[in-house]
């Protein structure tokens, strides 16, 4: 296969705390070095892109010396933590922004879906935006018309297609944006984590379309996602970014394993030290572990056992009593979502009335997970407002085959993640 995209020594530098490249004195200094044929002096400075570290310099390298090639028909997964430089890289590849150093060489048209509403004009209708996007990609009006019905049908927004896009929900905007980007025959399709805004049915539909583009039509896809299951099923190759550097380039499975093995090292015992989180902070996760019913902390769990998910939380700046809605989700080691549970799902009210540390426990009887490694993520709402949502796992645990069926028969469950059992009877 021929090479359709080549990134050579791509670096991107930003000035911290300011919009633009810097002060007037810095710009004049740059100009003075340029007219004398010397290197930009600010390329020699700049901090590593570690968002959790304290800023000690005026400049930061969002990306540094990125090199890779993409072949025609390849689906490249770009993975890494929040702030690793993934979206910056996609913006450079899509020519939304230019690199500070290095060059991008591509063949053919590039269609991008980087954020909700990318390339859309809010005052124009959905139909008008389809034609505008097609024109930007260099298509004639007649070419766009031949794709119009297919785009509208795929987006599922037919009722609102003649309504201004500014009145669309974020999910509708993403649906239409992806439909336009995928159907107007780009040689390279660039898709960021924006698909996470869509519902499960649309995400499945979108991934199917990307597979069709790559396998059926031989087009190239660049895909960024934190959902390792999607990356694994869709991508033929993966690269891992960390602190603005390309740390791994290889097969999808090896890329995911590299990323996840690094992620394991960053789950602290004191969850208050996690920097990458959102919410008001009134209530925050302090720690998490799993216990037996006798109080013993465990990491290995037998399926079919009763276990206790134990969360320690910190309450601060309390002004009045409020209700806590604590939720946790269980994922595979590939970050595929298995299940979610909030105390509100079971009409369980948890109310606090003073500052301090509390423990919240959830007892799970007959743990119905198959053998494997799992991660736990968490989120807290206070009076229906998001209070804490760490963007990294709270913890991990391992499930070992046990007597789930209470029959002495451990059964054969294949690759299924959830186990079920029922009451059997013969009725004549």
pLDDT by 10s per residue, the chain, length 428? 689 999 999 988 887 655 555 555 666 666 666 666 766 655 555 545 555 555 456 677 889 899 999 999 899 999 988 788 888 898 898 888 888 888 999 988 888 877 766 678 889 999 998 998 888 877 788 988 998 999 899 888 889 999 999 898 888 888 888 888 888 778 898 888 766 666 777 777 888 888 888 887 888 999 888 777 778 888 889 999 988 899 999 999 888 878 877 665 567 788 998 888 999 999 999 999 999 888 888 888 888 889 999 999 999 877 788 899 999 999 988 788 899 999 999 999 999 888 999 999 999 999 999 988 899 999 999 988 999 999 889 999 989 888 788 776 666 666 778 888 888 899 98
Strand pairing report for 395-400 and 350-352: unpaired
C-alpha 402/C-alpha 180 separation (Å) is 49
The sign of the dihedral angle between the CA atoms of 419, 229, 180, 213 is negative
User: Would you state the pLDDT for residue 76?
Assistant: 93
Rounded (10°) CA dihedral 14, 18, 22, 23: -170
Q: Are residues 380 and 283 in contact, defined by beta-carbon separation less than 8 angstroms? A: yes
Question: What CATH topology corresponds to 271-400?
Answer: Coagulation Factor XIII; Chain A, domain 1 (2.70.50)
Question: What 3-state class would DSSP assign to 198?
Answer: coil
Token pair of 148, please? 């119009």
Closest CA to 320 of 286, 354, 359, 297: 354
Angle between helices 126-136 and 141-155 (to 10 degrees): 130
Q: What's the CA gap between 223 and 235, in Å, rounded?
A: 8
Angle between helices 170-183 and 141-155 (to 10 degrees): 140
Query: What is the pTM for the complete model shown?
Result: 0.65
Cα 426 to Cα 104: distance, rounded to the nearest angstrom:
68
- In this structure, the number of other CB atoms found within 10 A of the CB of residue 207 comes to 19
pLDDT of residue 39: 62
The pLDDT score that the predictor gives to residue 180 is: 85
d(Cα 271, Cα 202) in Å, to the nearest integer? 34
Q: Which of 197, 210, 13 is nearest to 92 (CA)?
A: 13
pLDDT digits 0-9 by tens, 133-153: 888 877 788 988 998 999 899
The residues near 311 (Cβ < 8 Å, ≥ 6 apart) are: 285, 287, 288, 326, 328, 359, 360, 361, 362, 378, 394
Q: Helical H runs in 59-198?
A: 86-93, 126-136, 141-155, 170-183
Q: Where are the domains of the chain?
A: 69-264, 271-400
Alpha-carbon distance of 155 to 152, in angstroms, equals 5
| Angle at CA of residue 292, ends 288 and 294, nearest 5° | 120
Per-residue pLDDT at 354: 87
Stated length of the chain: 428
State both tokens at 22: 């810097």
Distance (Å, rounded) from C-alpha 296 to C-alpha 293?
Answer: 7
Interior CA angle at 206 toward 200 and 212, to 5°? Answer: 140
Q: Which fold would CATH assign to domain 69-264? A: Rossmann fold (3.40.50)
**Which strands form 188-191's sheet, in the order they lie side by side?**
110-113, 188-191, 220-224, 75-79, 237-242, 245-250
Joined together, the tokens standing for residue 319 give 């002004």
Query: Would you say 122 and 166 are in contact if contact means Cβ atoms under 8 Å apart?
Result: yes
Partner residues linked to 332 by β-bridges: 374
Structure-token match 């309504």, residue found: 163
User: Is 307 strand, coil or helix?
Assistant: strand
Which tokens belong to 402? Answer: 């046990």
Residue with tokens 């603005």: 244
Residue labelled with tokens 């998910």: 309
The CA distances from residue 161 to 113, 144, 233, 257, 381, in Å, are 19, 15, 32, 42, 35
pLDDT of 42 reads: 54
Instruction: Tell me what pLDDT residue 389 has.
Output: 94
Q: Which two tokens stand for residue 211?
A: 């597979």
Locate 109 and state its tokens. Answer: 């048209």
Largest CA distance in the chain: 96
């Amino acid at each position: 296969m021929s090479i359709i995209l080549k990134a050579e020594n791509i670096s991107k530098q930003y000035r911290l705390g300011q919009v633009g490249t810097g002060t007037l004195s810095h710009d004049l200094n740059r100009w003075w070095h340029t007219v004398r044929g010397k290197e930009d002096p600010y390329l020699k400075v700049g901090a590593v892109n570690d968002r959790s570290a304290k800023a000690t310099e005026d400049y930061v390298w969002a990306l540094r010396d990125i090199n890779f090639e993409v072949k025609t028909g390849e689906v490249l997964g770009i993975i890494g933590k929040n702030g690793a430089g993934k979206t910056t890289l996609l913006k450079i590849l899509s020519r939304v922004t230019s690199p500070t150093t290095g060059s991008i060489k591509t063949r053919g048209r590039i269609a991008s879906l980087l954020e909700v509403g990318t390339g859309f004009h809010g005052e124009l209708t959905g139909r008008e935006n389809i034609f505008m996007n097609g024109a930007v990609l260099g298509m004639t009006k007649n070419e766009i018309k031949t794709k119009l019905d297919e785009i509208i049908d795929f987006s599922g927004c037919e009722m609102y297609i003649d309504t201004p896009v500014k009145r669309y929900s974020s999910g509708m905007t993403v649906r239409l944006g992806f439909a336009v980007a995928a159907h107007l025959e780009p040689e390279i399709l660039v898709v960021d984590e924006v698909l996470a805004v869509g519902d499960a049915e649309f995400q499945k539909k979108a991934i199917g379309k990307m597979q069709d583009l790559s396998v059926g039509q031989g087009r190239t896809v660049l895909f960024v996602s934190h959902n390792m299951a999607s990356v694994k099923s869709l991508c033929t190759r993966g690269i891992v970014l960390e602190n603005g550097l390309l740390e791994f380039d290889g097969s999808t499975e090896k890329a995911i394993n590299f990323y996840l093995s690094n992620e394991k090292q960053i789950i602290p015992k004191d969850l208050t030290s996690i920097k990458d989180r959102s919410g008001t902070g009134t209530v925050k996760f302090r720690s998490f572990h799993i216990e037996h019913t006798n109080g013993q902390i465990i990491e290995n769990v037998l399926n079919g056992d009763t276990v206790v998910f134990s969360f320690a939380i910190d309450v601060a700046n309390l002004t009045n009593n409020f209700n806590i809605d604590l939720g946790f989700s269980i994922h595979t080691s590939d970050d595929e979502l298995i299940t979610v549970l909030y105390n509100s799902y079971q009409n369980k009210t948890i109310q606090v009335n003073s500052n301090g540390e509390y423990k919240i426990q959830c007892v799970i009887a007959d743990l119905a997970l198959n053998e494997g490694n799992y991660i736990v993520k968490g989120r807290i709402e206070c009076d229906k407002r998001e209070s804490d949502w760490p963007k990294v796992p709270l913890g991990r645990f391992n499930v070992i085959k046990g007597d789930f069926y209470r029959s002495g028969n451990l059964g054969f469950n294949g690759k299924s993640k959830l186990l079920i059992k029922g009451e059997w009877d013969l009725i004549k």
